[in-house]
Structure 1
Amino acid sequence: MPAGARISFNSVDSCLSSLKNCQSYINTGMDIATRVALDLVESFNDVEDVNSMEKVMIEYAAMDRELNHYITAIEETVHQGKRTWAILFLLQINREKPENVPDLQYLVKEKFTALESKNSDSDLQNNEKYMYFKDQLKEMRKQFCHQSDDEAIEQIDEDIAVTQSQMNFICPITQMEMKRPVRNKVCGHSYEEEAILKIIQTRKQQKKEVRCPKIGCSHANVKGSDLVPDEALKRAIDSQKKQSWSTLEKSAGYADATKKICC
């Protein structure tokens, strides 16, 4: 019997568990890289450093793809191996000699190579974490980059711009400013997390689909799995609050100074 065939399936399961733990580390790394990129955009450092973070995301996506292929190759081989051992067991009972015993290690390598041969750049572009990174980066630039441009303009229609920006902070369900906004990957609209999840749960119990609560949206099947944290919007809301408090503090300081001068 080939050495590669002498394999403990319990050991393989343990190895698979370790590999899947590695996947969680990759996911954590991608989450951190996303937050760092958003920090850079928020601080208006939006050129080379942000591009370098995108390269990091692509590298993580490549590692994730390779790890997925290796896990798939092992799982398929183990499944095939268990069927083979079952057949061998039956042959031994019937006192028949098996013709060939597969080398499982070779099969894993063969399947892995076949999967890797189909690699393309689109695989990395379609990585879920990378797509989230690109989406949030785009939204972050919308929320923050235009603010620096507005400062260069002599406050033309400033009140209107602020009002429109604040309108985006209002949840279409609660009609209140969002605290934990989530973004629908399908239609792109955002809602307060607790509010939309409550609607989804209620409709699920009624066996009904959930229409996007944003007026004018035609998306008629909102799912919890389609919702992702809208970090860019949350940062914009928090930034607006800080600016409001700063303005109030300055106004209060000016009022106190005026009183002292007049008295």
Structure 2
Amino acid sequence: MAGASEIMSTISEAIRTINEAADHTVKVAQSISYKKDTLLVNQFENTIFEYAKVDSQLKEWEKVIEGYSQTLSDYQMRIDNDQQRINPHQDIHETILQDCLDSANKATENNLRAHPFIRQYQDAGFTIEDDMNDDLVTTHVHRSTTCPITKQDFVDPVKNIHCGHTYSHAAIIEIMNLNQKSGKKNRCPVGGCNRFVNENDLEPDSAMQALIDKNQK
């Protein structure tokens, strides 16, 4: 049974791979958009939605594993107090992780259309047909080019693979350096976001850079 840290590492790598796949999908969709092929467009849209679903699920699992130690402690306490029965032939760590992952699998997808992959796809010039509603409305989310840290246009935008938020590269690095000196953890500086960010979690936000370049023309 793999440990929590090993599982977290695997999930982080999977999230990074999904992000790269989504980037490539958008670029390919842009490169052949001139063909006006409805079937191809639908296939790309479905692919982006599938990537968004997988990415959302991975991040749910990631949040669950982050709280694994506390869950294990609570579980052990219930056993010690005879409030929890456990099969002596069953690995307690495996039991806890399976319970946690089962809970994560039940997470809803209500906010899927606000997922960064969907915004990226829309920013590339595509629209998303909302077939979940009877009205079949077309949705579009305007993406701001203002850095949440500097309050100015992004410069060398990078994306946090864990929450999808984007920052100017120099600005987020400066914050992380200040946190390191003061012994603080690096939380995402976007208000209301409780995800962490490290330099290894940052990747170039090519969609944002393309949007900035487009606006400057």
TM-score, structure 2 as length reference = 0.52
Q: Which position in structure 1 is the counterpart of 2:38?
A: 47
Say which of 53, 56, 76 aligns to 2:67.
76
Q: Verify: 1:183 aligned to 2:163, yes or no.
A: no
In structure 2, do the counterparts of structure 1 residues 135 and 46 end up closer, same or farther at CA, with 3 Å as the change threshold?
farther
Equivalent pairs, count: 152
Where in structure 2 are the equivalents of 1:171-210 lying within 5 Å?
A: 183-184=145-146, 193=155
Q: Which position in structure 2 is the counterpart of 1:231?
A: 210
Counterpart Cα distance in 2 of 1:192 and 1:24? 22
Cα deviation digits, residues 4-57 of structure 1 (max 9, x gap): xxx77xx3212211111111000100111111122223x353532222111111
Counterpart Cα distance in 2 of 1:118 and 1:137? 30
Instruction: Report if the CA contact (8 A) 2:123-2:211 is conserved.
Output: no
Counterpart Cα distance in 2 of 1:104 and 1:192? 44
Say which of 75, 95, 102 aligns to 1:113.
102
Where in structure 2 are the equivalents of 1:236-247 lying within 5 Å?
A: none
Say which of 21, 25, 29 aligns to 1:33.
25
Where in structure 2 are the equivalents of 1:3-152 lying within 5 Å?
A: 11-41=3-33, 43-45=34-36, 47-82=38-73, 99=82, 103-120=92-109, 122-138=110-126
In structure 2, do the counterparts of structure 1 residues 135 and 185 end up closer, same or farther at CA, with 3 Å as the change threshold?
farther
- C-alpha displacement at 1:98, in angstroms? 5.9
Cα deviation digits, residues 124-166 of structure 1 (max 9, x gap): 2121122221232249xxxxxxxxxxxxxxxxxxxxxxxxxxx
Instruction: Report if the CA contact (8 A) 2:52-2:118 is conserved.
Output: yes
Counterpart Cα distance in 2 of 1:233 and 1:12? 39
Instruction: Report if the CA contact (8 A) 1:74-1:108 is conserved.
Output: yes
Identical aligned residues as a percent:
13
Instruction: Report if the CA contact (8 A) 2:4-2:68 is conserved.
Output: no
Find the structure with the greater CA-based Rg.
1
In structure 2, do the counterparts of structure 1 residues 118 and 22 end up closer, same or farther at CA, with 3 Å as the change threshold?
closer
What residue ranges of structure 1 are gaps of 5+ in the alignment? 1-6, 89-96, 140-181, 205-223, 241-263
Counterpart Cα distance in 1 of 2:212 and 2:41? 18
What residue ranges of structure 2 are gaps of 5+ in the alignment? 87-91, 128-143, 157-167, 176-188, 192-204
- C-alpha displacement at 1:234, in angstroms? 3.6
CA-atom RMSD, angstroms? 4.3
Three-state SS of the structure 1 residue aligned to 2:36 is coil
TM-score, structure 1 as length reference = 0.44
